[in-house]
Amino acid sequence: MTTRRDFLRSAGLLTAAAAILNPFELFAQRGGKALNGSKGGSKTMVLTYTPYDAQLRHVFTIANSSRTTTQLVLTEIAWDGYVGYGEASMPPYLGETQASVIDFLKKIDLSRFSSPFEIQDILAYVDAIASNNTAAKAAVDIALHDLVGKLIGQPWWKIWGFNPATTPNTSFTIGLDTEEVVKEKTREASPYKVIKVKLGKDEATDKMMINTIRSVTDTVICVDANQGWKDKHYALEMINWLNEKNVNMIEQPMPKLLLDEAAWITENSPLPIIADEACQRLTDIYKLKGAYNGINIKLMKCTGMREARDMVTLAKSFHMKIMIGCMTETSCAISAAAQIAPETEWADLDGNLLIANDVFKGMLIVDGKVTLSDLPGIGAVKL
């Protein structure tokens, strides 16, 4: 059947017709899919969810804990024959579980909204249902963004106007471990151009980690102390030592509440100091300004893509550097986070590489670099 668009194109009239269409309609059409291209499904948004255990390839150890699985909840929002995918990831220290996420999701009634395009209203409503529950909120936010991107026919990096050529290299994370395992993991990390190392135990262990990696490779290192250093003078001594070892940044050197200490370290450090645990949501950025050089944004901390995008804008207005990070996640949430990557200095998007049972295919690392595709929405395909 010849559609109006085909007719206009064959008549060479599409450009002329564009002048009388509103810009958003034109944009949607160029994406190859008209906004009113109904697939004939229900016009009531339906949210569904499934608990899923991510199996880790290696036992994962940071300063205060170690584990072999991460609890996830996979979400879907269906509307008009389209499906958007989302995910909540719950590392234990964040305090959410599959049960708490599902309890939260049960409270959501999307039937009160007439269309998924009401993103701001829908996500403000979801955020107001209860405090915290940031991973549960992210699971809704990601699925909604995926759905809307699919309806428009474009990926979010393009909808936001980001340049895909400016994505950083992603780091590959190496946790605290024995010398032998660290050597093995360092060799495994050889395709990556940045290695992220988890420190923050004691001086001997921290130096062993760095010296062991340096015995294998000169690849640039990002250090994450995960709040593990307890004294600011000791932290600065370590940072000065690390500065001689081709380390290019330090994440969360001291406990998140010690803002004055962070400010002192930042003032005296030769390396940029980035807030991770200290930076959960948008409003945290105001107090971190001046105390840290930058922030690590993670969708599971900040409730998802909507707030992450706002955090980018606010942090940039304060001349703060941005890192996009992740939890242990499937390629669903990783691909969603990658949409932000063009606006960041560092990407730590290896969560999907750390699990053995990914159920999505999405953002690719090409030659160490976060590489965005033209797939619509978050750019992930369910396997």
Q: Return the residue of 261, 276, 329, 350 that touches Mg ion, per CB under 5 A.
A: 276
Nearest residue to Mg ion on Cβ basis: 276
- Give the residue with the Cβ less far from Mg ion, 76 or 251: 251
Q: Is 307 in the site for Mg ion (CB under 5 A)?
A: no
Binding residues for Mg ion, how many (CB under 5 A)? 3
Q: How far apart are CA 107 and CA 101, in angstroms?
A: 10
Helix (H, G, I), strand (E, B) or coil at 231: coil
How far lies 60's CA from each of 104, 182, 360, in Å?
A: 28, 12, 22
How far lies 225's CA from each of 222, 299, 339, in Å?
A: 10, 20, 26
Minimum Å gap between C-beta 42 and Mg ion is 41
Q: How far apart are CA 33 and CA 198, in angstroms?
A: 45
Minimum Å gap between C-beta 272 and Mg ion is 14
Minimum Å gap between C-beta 215 and Mg ion is 25
- Give the residue with the Cβ less far from Mg ion, 96 or 251: 251
Residues 6+ apart with CB under 8 A from 152: 27, 28, 31, 33, 35, 159, 376
Minimum Å gap between C-beta 224 and Mg ion is 4
Minimum Å gap between C-beta 222 and Mg ion is 9
Choose one: 14-22, 124-132, 154-162, 216-224; the region binding Mg ion (CB under 5 A).
216-224
Choose one: 99-107, 122-130, 212-220, 269-277; the region binding Mg ion (CB under 5 A).
269-277
Q: How far apart are CA 175 and CA 153, in angstroms?
A: 39
Minimum Å gap between C-beta 80 and Mg ion is 39
Are 320 and 289 in contact, with CB atoms under 8 Å apart? yes
- Give the residue with the Cβ less far from Mg ion, 127 or 224: 224
Minimum Å gap between C-beta 198 and Mg ion is 8
Are 223 and 201 in contact, with CB atoms under 8 Å apart? no
Minimum Å gap between C-beta 227 and Mg ion is 9
Query: Which among 85, 84, 79 has a CA at the least distance from the CA of 38?
Result: 79
Q: What angle do CA 300, 213, 208 make, to 5 degrees?
A: 95
Looking at the DSSP bridge assignments, the partners of residue 365 are 370
- Backbone region of residue 72 per phi and psi (left: phi > 0; alpha: psi in -120 to 50; beta: other values): beta
Choose one: 48-56, 106-114, 270-278, 282-290; the region binding Mg ion (CB under 5 A).
270-278
- Give the residue with the Cβ less far from Mg ion, 149 or 175: 175
Choose one: 103-111, 245-253, 258-266, 334-342; the region binding Mg ion (CB under 5 A).
245-253
Q: Return the residue of 80, 87, 127, 224 that touches Mg ion, per CB under 5 A.
A: 224
Looking at the DSSP bridge assignments, the partners of residue 371 are 364
Residues 162 to 181: which contact Mg ion by CB under 5 A? Answer: none
The first and second tokens of residue 277, run together, are 């645990």
Task: Using CB under 5 A, list all residues that contact Mg ion.
Answer: 224, 251, 276
